[in-house]
Every structure is written in C-alpha cells, then in structure tokens.
Amino acid sequence: MTTPNDTSVSRSRLWALPVLRRFAPPAEIPADEAGGIDTAGSHGAAEIVPWALPGTALRTQAAAARRGFYAPVLAGAPTTTRQAEILNTALIGPPTGTRGVVNGRDVLSRTTISHDPVTAYNSEPREVSSPNVIVMGDVGAGKSSHTKCNYVVRPLLLQGRRGVVFDKKDQNGEGEYSNVVRHYGFEPIRFTTDGTGTTLNLLDPMIARGTGVKGQTRLLNIVTRIARGDQPLNEWEEEALRAALRRTVGQAHGRVPVLADVLPNLGLVVDDDDYRTLSVTARDDLHKAGLSVKWTLNGLLDEYAGLLDGETSAAVDLSGKLTSFDISQLPDDGPAVPVIMAIGNMWMLGRLRSERTSATTVVYEEGWHMIGGPSAQLIKANQKLSRGLGISNVFVMHKGTDIPKDSPGMAIIQEAQTVVVYRQSRPEDALWCQQTFGFAPETARTIETLADGHYIFKFGSHPETHVEHIRSEWERQLTNTDEGLSVGTIF
C-alpha cells in the first residue's frame, strides 16, 4: 500500500527523468522555511520575486518552431486593461470615499460605494456642483428600491435631513411610499379627482412668498400650457394672464385668492387703465387672448374641481421628517399629475423659506412630468433659489430619448451631478445614456444587460462604476413592489 509520502517521492523521481525534467514544477519548500518580507525588508525563501525569474519560456527547438510552435510555452489569458486592474490592488482603490451613506458595492473591486448628494455638495471642496440626481432605467429594474433606500430611508438617519416624495406608483390603492411614511409616524397627503382628497391652491400666498408674483405668474402660465397639451401661450395671452393676476391679487376677497377668482378677471383685462390707449383692434385682440386663457383654465377647474378649486388643505405641510404627496390615484394621462407636481414644487419653495434648518431631498417618481414637459422651466428658473434652500431634487424616470434637445429639461439632466442608470434594454436608450452622461463607449452595451438591482453610477468627477445595490432584509421587504405588503409584517 502506498502512503501519501510514497506518492510524492515517486512523483519527484518522475520529474527527474531526462525529458520531463524540463517541465518540472518549482520545488516545494517546507512551511517553516517560508515567509514574506521581514521587518528589515528582505524576502523569505518562499517569496517569488519577478526579477529572479527567467522570463517567459520559449519553444526554441527548430522542429517545433517550423510547425508554428515558436511561441511562449504557456499562452497568456486574454484580458482587457480594465479586467487586469483587479490584479493590482494598489491601482484599484475604492471608487468613492466613505462619506454620505452606503449606496451599494462596486462589482469590480467589491468595495462599498458611499455617496449622498447633500453631503457631497456641502463638502469642502465641493464634490458636486449640483445636488440634483437623475435615476433612469426600464420598468422594474430597481429604480424605486434604489431611491427609497439611498435618497430617503438611509439619509434620514443623518442629522438635519428631511424627505418629500411625489409618489406616483399605485400599490394596493395608495402610493408605494405610504408604508415608509407611516413608519415615521405621518400620513401621506392624498390627491384624488373625486373631490375627497386634498386641494392645492394655484394662488396660494406661499407660492408668492417663495418666488414672488413673478413666480406665481410663471406657474399659472405653465399650468395653462400643461392644460393645453404643452401648447405655449402667445404674447397676448401672457399679457392678459399677467393683468388678470395683478387685478386678482389687488382685490379684497376677505380670504386667500383662489383660481376661480382669476377667471372673471381674464374677461375684464381691457378695462384696465393700462390698456385704455390701445387701438380698438389691439384691445379686441387682448380681450380674445384673455378669453382663450379663461376657457382653458375653466376646463381645468371643471375637470379637477376638488383638486384645484379652493384654498390649500390644512393637511399640506412639511412638518414631518418625511412627507409624501400621494398622487398615485390621479390619472396617468392628462394634466393632473404634472399640475400637482408643479404647484407642489412652487409651494415648497415658499414653505422652506421660513424654515431652513434641514436639507430637503425631493423625490419626483415619474420625474418625466417635471423634466419632459413645460414644468422644466420652473425647475430651471428656480435652481439657484432651490440650492439656497438646501433642496436636492431626485428625478426618477424611464428613459431620456423623448426629452427634446436644447430644452430646459435637457439642461437639468446635464446639470445633475449624480447619475444612476439602471438597465435600459433598448439599445437607443442605453446609447442615449452613454452619450448624455459621458460614459465609456462600451458601457452602452453593459447598460442593456444590467441585472435587477445593478446600476452604472457616476457622480462629480468620479469615474463611472458598475454597482450592485444591496438591501438589508428590512429594506428588501420595504421596497419589494412585486407583492402586496402589509404594514404590520414590515415594522
């Protein structure tokens, strides 16, 4: 019977044979003789140092060379420089530092990725010049899970932070963030079109507090435009709207003015002293322009009476750590969703003016309504104010190919300094991301095939990274949108 020892003896004899000798592996060194670099810097006997090796062994025999075998004995493994980086840990240090909150794990180096747009914006020197974030990806790729964890739940652990969400996705009759909001002890602010929900007043004085009468006029202009399916107002209509708003604000109502107060004034614009010197035709044109805006807004009020007609409901407040504007029950088509997002955005700017103690992350689920339509002008016009008030906007959307080039929406996308791209299975969408966000050319292909929960991440001047979003068990239950959830089982 042979013992293991016998085997090793016979093997070493085998390697001593004349031909095999040339292919013998390096002699094994007993463990006690082995050792790394000692304190003095010299190497132990087992340390293999590259400068002591003879280099690549070549087939030098003439016969083999003639048959095309004049090449290294061992063929190297094909690799790209990027793959080879993993072999040199000195070069592949973690792509981010540890500030902010953990966002996931770098797939290549397996180190954690940490980032928080507000922390990065406030750091010295600034790591990002804008705290805004774009989260993009196919349906069901993991965008909302990412947003809930990395921009809502985890940053709320930090001091002086608050979250506001425009929650669009319906889950069992309410928004998908409802259970998260309740976890913090608050109720979502529900919007419905049947008159049972909350009202947002387009003329709320809070809006003028944030952006002045100019901001209020701009909002009214954009809401009219949204109501007309993105058809812009001409200069006559803009003038008529401005005049009607001026008149409404100057009138005594004995209460806060509401949209219904503007409508009669739109038909009386020409009575204004400012227009008395106009020619009859010009006055006629202005009158018609006023009526055209009046009829658009009339239609909007008719359709969404409970939503827009009246003073802002008392429930609309930002007193909690997390506030949700639950717009999940509003119809997908039509102006309701973008109109509520636009009014809510402007209302918030006014509300935050009087309270600057926290940094506020505002999440726009279905952010396309803000970026892809006329409301992008509001965001663009108020960008500076918004940064000054400590707001970080997070726009979650499916794709960017529909956003017109040179539009304000495109400018917002290019200005955002934190970019998260989940799977985009259509090659044209993936290519759009690669080109718009300046990713490496081969990343377009990677974006097409990313698994659920995987994303390409870029912020500030840091290189793009393929990241896996890792959720705790609690977060996994919280973000699982595949099945109905009961609050009781989660918390």
Ligand X SMILES: Nc1ncnc2c1ncn2[C@@H]1O[C@H](COP(=O)(O)OP(=O)(O)OP(=O)(O)O)[C@@H](O)[C@H]1O
Binding site for Mg ion (CB under 5 A): 144
Contact with ligand X (CB under 6 A) among 27, 139, 252, 280: 139
Q: Least distance in Å: CB of 146 to ligand X? A: 7
Q: Which residue has the tokens 């072999």?
A: 87
Binding range to ligand X, per CB under 6 A, among 138-146, 152-160, 286-294, 317-325: 138-146
Contact with ligand X (CB under 6 A) among 174, 453, 465, 485: 453
The residue (of 36 and 484) whose beta carbon lies closer to ligand X is: 484
Q: Least distance in Å: CB of 464 to Mg ion? A: 23
Cα separation of 201 and 327, whole Å?
A: 16
Binding range to ligand X, per CB under 6 A, among 125-133, 241-249, 372-380, 474-482: 474-482
Q: Choose among 364, 348, 366: nearest CA to 356.
A: 348
Q: Which amino acid is at 475?
A: E
How far is CA 31 from its chain centroid? 53
Neighbours of 333 (CB within 10 A): 7
Cα separation of 303 and 308, whole Å?
A: 10
Cα separation of 365 and 147, whole Å?
A: 9
Residue 473 interacts with ligand X (CB under 6 A)? no
Q: Least distance in Å: CB of 328 to Mg ion? A: 11
Q: Choose among Mg ion, ligand X, none what residue 390 binds, the Cβ cut-off being 5 to 8 Å by kind.
A: none
Residue 142 interacts with ligand X (CB under 6 A)? yes
Residue 179 interacts with ligand X (CB under 6 A)? no
Residue 482 interacts with ligand X (CB under 6 A)? yes
The residue (of 352 and 396) whose beta carbon lies closer to ligand X is: 396
The residue (of 239 and 366) whose beta carbon lies closer to ligand X is: 366
Do 210 and 346 meet the contact criterion of CB atoms below 8 Å apart? yes
Q: What angle do CA 364, 365, 369 make, to 5 degrees?
A: 70
The residue (of 7 and 172) whose beta carbon lies closer to ligand X is: 172
Q: Choose among 204, 199, 161, 473: nearest CA to 346.
A: 204
Cα separation of 242 and 250, whole Å?
A: 12
Diameter of the chain measured on Cα atoms: 120
Q: Choose among 405, 385, 397, 392: nearest CA to 422.
A: 397
The residue (of 243 and 371) whose beta carbon lies closer to Mg ion is: 371
Q: Choose among Mg ion, ligand X, none what residue 314 binds, the Cβ cut-off being 5 to 8 Å by kind.
A: none
Shortest-Cβ-distance residue relative to Mg ion: 144
Site string for ligand X, 210-239 (x = CB under 6 A): ------------------------------
Q: Choose among ligand X, Mg ion, none what residue 63 binds, the Cβ cut-off being 5 to 8 Å by kind.
A: none
Q: Choose among ligand X, Mg ion, none what residue 188 binds, the Cβ cut-off being 5 to 8 Å by kind.
A: none
Contact with ligand X (CB under 6 A) among 59, 94, 107, 169: 169
Q: Choose among Mg ion, ligand X, none what residue 142 binds, the Cβ cut-off being 5 to 8 Å by kind.
A: ligand X
How many residues in the chain?
491
Cα separation of 274 and 233, whole Å?
A: 21
Q: Least distance in Å: CB of 136 to ligand X? A: 9
Q: Beta partners for 43?
A: 37
Cα separation of 118 and 133, whole Å?
A: 10
Residue 137 interacts with ligand X (CB under 6 A)? yes
Cα separation of 286 and 304, whole Å?
A: 27
Residue 143 interacts with ligand X (CB under 6 A)? yes
Cα separation of 299 and 297, whole Å?
A: 5
Q: What CA–CA distances, in Å, run from 287 to 49, 182, 233, 272?
A: 89, 50, 14, 11
Helix (H) or strand (E) holding 392: strand 391-397
Q: Least distance in Å: CB of 453 to ligand X? A: 2
Q: Least distance in Å: CB of 483 to ligand X? A: 8
Contact with ligand X (CB under 6 A) among 154, 162, 462, 471: 471
Contact with ligand X (CB under 6 A) among 144, 216, 361, 436: 144
Q: Choose among 114, 280, 273, 298: nearest CA to 223.
A: 298
Q: Choose among 103, 97, 95: nearest CA to 152.
A: 103
Q: Least distance in Å: CB of 366 to ligand X? A: 8
Residue 480 interacts with ligand X (CB under 6 A)? yes
Contact with ligand X (CB under 6 A) among 44, 72, 97, 140: 140
Point out which residues bind ligand X (CB under 6 A): 137, 139-145, 169, 452-453, 469, 471, 479-482
